[in-house]
Amino acid sequence: MDFNIIRVARVVLNVSDLDRSRDFYVKTLGFIETESDSEHIYLRGLEEHVHHSLVLKKSEKKGVQALGYKVASEGDLDKLALLFQSKGLRTKWLEKGTQHALGRALHVHDVSNLPLEFFCEMDGAERLLQRYDLYRGSRVQRIDHVNCAVPDVQKAYDFFTNELGFSCSEYTANEEEKLWAAWLHRKPCVHDQAFMNGVGPRLHHFAYWLPDPMALIHTCDVLASVGYADSIERGPGRHGLSNAFFLYLRDPDGYRIELYNGDYLTSDPDFKPIRWDLNDERRQTFWGHKAPDSWFNETSPFLDIDTGEQVENSEPTLTQKKPEFII
């Protein structure tokens, strides 16, 4: 590839009530609030040395504005723009200063109609990794990955691996060897971007890394003690696929956030992707307990980069007779 995408770096969400969102993300989960105004809250984890990795934007319209990826250089942005344009995909430039704390950014719609963002520059912030006096709630460290439902996983997989330079760590296939879900990465761990078969494009969840498995359990205690027990949707548990510990929560606007710890290194060039059979229930939860129906059926809409309206969805190309088992 002529460009270098480093990692998933930020998510931008519309939320209905900033004070209510602050209570959940900052006061309860322990995100660091870098900055805020009457329309935005900018959040980061304790390990992160940049201005933010999560933007909460006040709006009456629910939706995900962008999934942001950091690239290595300004030149990478120009090369990415040429790639998307050569495929007949929409692009939009946002100059430095258009988005707070961010340099020049390229917004695009990919082959699945996902609204993606690429940027190189973001304002810095104090890294608080060893400020243990500030560790509260979930002790959130850093953004880890996003997972999206798309109608054609193979199409999304081909574009991200062949055109954007992502590698596959694990995947799920059915009896006909049709690709049902895939976990793709740029940084050397299990995933930055996951795709699952479903009505889409829609966001299933975004995920943050915690320092250890006990932080997930402590999160449940904190949530229950302050009246957020109903926000716990699934877990704590261990995934078979990725081997990681997980806890899924729903925020006040219904967005799903996964708190995550304990996957593995994928940096070796001879690493071989791990295949999971679609009917192997261990891949969703290694310990065997089932996920609630909401986890399979409820996702969040994406917003168009030009109109701001919800992106049109399509039905999946694959169907399954048995219950879905995906992470």
Q: Name the residue range of residue 66's domain.
A: 5-119
Element (H, E) at 223: helix 213-225
pTM here is: 0.96
What gap in Å lies between CA 40 and CA 60, rounded to an integer? 13
What gap in Å lies between CA 252 and CA 254, rounded to an integer? 6
Q: How many domains, the chain?
A: 2
pLDDT value of position 321:
56
pLDDT value of position 327:
42
Q: How far from each other are the two terminal CA atoms of the chain, in whole angstroms?
A: 29
- Picking from 290, 311, 292, the residue whose alpha carbon sits closest to that of residue 302 is 311
What gap in Å lies between CA 204 and CA 182, rounded to an integer? 14
187 and 66 share one domain: no
CATH number for the domain that contains residue 83: 3.10.180.10
80 and 226 share one domain: no
**Residue that is last in its domain, among 86, 119, 152:** 119
26 and 173 share one domain: no
Contact between residue 145 and residue 166 where contact means Cβ atoms under 8 Å apart: no
126, 144, 268, 287, 326 from 242: Cα distances, Å: 31, 13, 16, 13, 12
236 upstream amide cis, omega within 30 of 0: yes
Indicate whether 313 belongs to any domain.
no
Q: What is the pLDDT along the chain (327 residues), one digit of tens a residue?
A: 799 999 999 999 999 999 999 999 999 999 999 999 999 999 999 999 999 999 999 999 999 999 999 999 999 999 999 999 999 999 999 999 999 999 999 999 999 999 999 999 999 999 999 999 999 999 999 999 999 999 999 999 999 999 999 999 999 999 899 999 999 999 999 999 999 999 999 999 999 999 999 999 999 999 999 999 999 999 999 998 899 999 999 999 999 999 999 999 999 999 999 999 988 777 678 887 788 999 989 999 999 999 999 999 999 999 865 444 444
Indicate whether 288 belongs to any domain.
yes
107 and 152 share one domain: no
pLDDT value of position 324:
43
pLDDT value of position 323:
43
**Residue that is last in its domain, among 103, 119, 135:** 119
96 and 151 share one domain: no
What gap in Å lies between CA 79 and CA 75, rounded to an integer? 6
Indicate whether 114 belongs to any domain.
yes
**DSSP annotation of 6:** E
What gap in Å lies between CA 141 and CA 282, rounded to an integer? 27
